[in-house]
Amino acid sequence: MSIRKQLRLCCSLLGVVAPLFFPASAYAEAHYDPAMRLFRLDGGTVTYAFGVNSAGALQPIYWGPRLAASDKLAAKAIPDLSGFEPSGSITPQEYPGWGGAFYTEPALKLAYPDGVRDVVLTFVSGHADGETATVELSDIRRPLHVTLHYTIDPATGIVGRSTIIRNDTKTAVRIDQASSAAWSLPANTDYHLHYLTGRWAAEWTLQDRALTDGTTVIESRRGSTGMQANPWFAIDRAGLTTEESGPVWFGALAWSGSWRISIDRNPLGDVRVVGGFNPFDFAYRLQPGETLETPVFYGGYSGQGMGGASRLMHRFEMTKILPAPKPRPILYNSWEATEFAVDESGQMALAEKAARIGVERFVMDDGWFGARNNDHAGLGDWTVNRQKFPNGLKPLIDKVHGLGMEFGIWVEPEMVNPDSDLYRAHPDWVINFPGRPRSEGRNQLVLNLARRDVRDYVLKAVDDILSNNDIQFLKWDYNRNWSEPGWPQLDPQDQPKIYVSYIRNLYGILAKLRKRHPKLEIEDCSGGAGRVDLGIMGLTDQIWASDNTDPFDRLSIQDGFTHAYAPGVMMDWVTDSPNWVNNRSTSLGYRFLSAMQGALGIGADLNKWKEADFAEAARMVAAYKEIRQTVQGGDLYRLIRPTDPAGRAATFYVAPDKKQAVLFAFLHSSTKLDRQPNIQVIGLDPARQYRVRAIAASDADSQTQSGAYWMGHGVEIPMTGDFQARGLVFEAQ
């Protein structure tokens, strides 16, 4: 008997409700009641329930704060409202097929070769065990089967949903739309929708719009996740929700290819969120006996506002998504210092300087391979450039290791420059439509990873680099989106499978590399944050949040990022001032405090630094090492968002045991001798005494007060001038 079953048995023998014994954060259960045909998932502070209604359809029943075990739940179909609003269309479904009289967004749409395009799914069987539930649905007439998988995370109550579609008919079926899940929210009139949009060097803008009747679509048609929208949403209630209180429903898709999430409110006020593969230009032919599995769509609920929702996401990602969560080493990256002009002596000189300030991982960026002297040539030729490295990479790697740092290297294995030996040998390996132009982005084309030979080449190319050199870390880049997405070697009807097969092969390559090189860590980068989602996060260790390294711009970029993704994976670099993005000048201290809100890196040209810069950087790096666990693994409170009209911003990170906390505060510009209000922090233990001192300062100027004081009275942080920053460390006594 599993431990969980034993615990359940023991609880029922004692006649107690499990959550009394086990903190809500440690217990989850998926339960199926066959008599009522009711499924219920309980985890964290959340209950998610659905069941079979009188029409045999699987209907959502409840998603929100955790209910009592004794609460009675049942699926009740909504009767016809009129001839225009039939029951089957206005009654929410867990996974609606496009068939019958159904007018809202379906999860599944398909076509049979005989012209029938009707799929009506009804319940066949169900099963629940531990933290998972499985439901079998079938079409009412043809052996077209759908299996819904559910998991619930005990700590966060985040539900994972995915679907397998199986064709047991005797003919091929064309799947036109396959979503992972449909989520339903109770009818309300004051919902607000939040999602993240952006562009290169300007990712992670948080959008906020009233959810009124009609549909909002966020999507990528680009073959990868995209910067223009991220597959994450949150819905709150305007009248009830603030940053730290009130209901928020949120979700994120674990998929790194083209995706779509559509959020609609129907005229009855019901809200549905349907997401999965983007149906645009999609078609997936399923032969008899074949299956198509969707990505996982995760969904969660918090009663603690947007801050609570993102803390749940962070905790879930750090414990359930990341392959091997560990504190991030402080890295140095050569890109902004040298761009493509890397060579042995130049990199060695930078490595020596990086080691002086306490860097733990030295990363050589673009330019070390093939004929790569600019972005016009060389991509695809993964052999060391002997003009730049006459003795190969070994002398540099040995030097970096000798300085006590790990060695990492930049790769962009999915791409090729037309000016490369690889492209000259295999012009057919790129994504293209025959006889049509091959549009370039950054002078490069996309290799068709969906092809087996290309997949095998890419795997071998990277595997060889790792096997022939003592490398601990890859920065895996991806610097354009798809165009002309053809796969000419396949039957035209099967070519759109590229949207699925490419990504699955990418995931396969990353998984194999990790298996073959168990100590390897990988950074997910796509010209900044062009491919950030829970799918790629499950195979990588950290994320490059933006090519924009301006420390002031970064405040809003990082604020947007942390709504969906954990500070523990968010790479932030200290770079040169004035910054290349805005020509803005900021102090080294400001740049450090901005970058210390995530996983710290240095990307400055250390050759230009003065002794005083090295001394200050060494102090800040040492100070960061003392707070890194709290910043990367603690609870984040966004105290003052960078949208603040007074130009302030503040974040607060509290260690899980509340023994340490860190406050970062920023001011754009002081004006008119205005005084800044105290900053009231959140999440400390009110009864404990906390000694507070500036980051990288001695205890001499510290002040000790209770957690209650710091939260109630707040912290005085007077700042005057432009681009001011302060960092404070709270240590429990």
- Token pair, residue 187, equals 């009818």
**DSSP helix, strand, coil percent of the chain (3-state; round to 5):** 25, 35, 45
Classify 281 as helix, strand or coil.
coil
Q: What residues pair up with 406 in beta bridges, in sequence order?
A: 361
Strand partners, 680: none
What letter represents residue 91's amino acid? T
Q: In whole angstroms, how close is the CB of 537 to ligand GLA at the nearest point?
A: 17
Task: Report the residue number, 255 or 410, with the smaller CB distance to ligand GLA.
Answer: 410
Residue 348, sorted as left (phi over 0), alpha (psi -120 to 50) or beta, turns out to be alpha
58 Cβ contact partners less than 8 Å away, ≥ 6 residues apart: 50, 51, 52, 93, 94, 95, 121, 123, 135, 137, 148
Is there a contact between 388 and 344 (Cβ–Cβ < 8 Å)? yes
| Least distance CB 519 / ligand GLA (angstroms) | 22
The pair of structure tokens assigned to 564 is 């969906």
Burial class (CB in 10 A: 0-12, 13-18, 19+), 733: exposed
Question: In the complex, what is the shortest distance from the CB of residue 148 to ligand GLA, in angstroms, rounded to a whole number?
Answer: 38
Distance CA 288, CA 205 (A): 45
Which residues are marked as active site? 477, 547
- Backbone torsion region of residue 513, taken as left when φ is above 0, otherwise alpha when ψ lies between -120 and 50, otherwise beta: alpha
**DSSP symbols for 489-546:** TS-GGGGGGHHHHHHHHHHHHHHHHHHHSTT-EEEE-BTTBTT-SHHHHTT-SEEE--
Positions touching ligand GLA (CB under 6 A) are: 335, 365-366, 410, 477, 479, 525, 527-528, 544, 547
- If we measure between CA atoms, which residue out of 332, 429, 308, 317 comes closest to residue 380? 429
Residue 271's alpha-carbon distances to 120, 194, 266, 575, in angstroms, are 21, 14, 7, 44
Give residues with Cβ within 8 angstroms of 728, minimum separation 6. Answer: 662, 663, 665, 692, 693, 694, 695, 715, 717
- Identity of the residue, 247 or 528, whose beta carbon is nearer to ligand GLA in the bound complex: 528
The amino acid at 641: R
- Let me know: does 526 contact 479? Beta carbons within 8 Å: yes
If the CB atoms of residues 544 and 590 are measured against ligand GLA, the closer one turns out to be 544
Please report, in angstroms and rounded to a whole number, the separation of the first and last CA atoms in the chain. 44
Residue with tokens 């052999």: 383
Q: In terms of CB distance, is 374 or 689 closer to ligand GLA?
A: 374
> What angle in degrees, to the nearest 10, is found between the helix axes of 452-468 and 498-516?
20
With 0-12 / 13-18 / 19 or more C-beta atoms within 10 angstroms meaning exposed / middle / buried, residue 413 is: buried
HSE of 731, CA atoms in CB hemisphere, 13 A: 11
Structure tokens at 557: 């970029």
Half-sphere exposure of 433 (CA within 13 A, CB side): 9
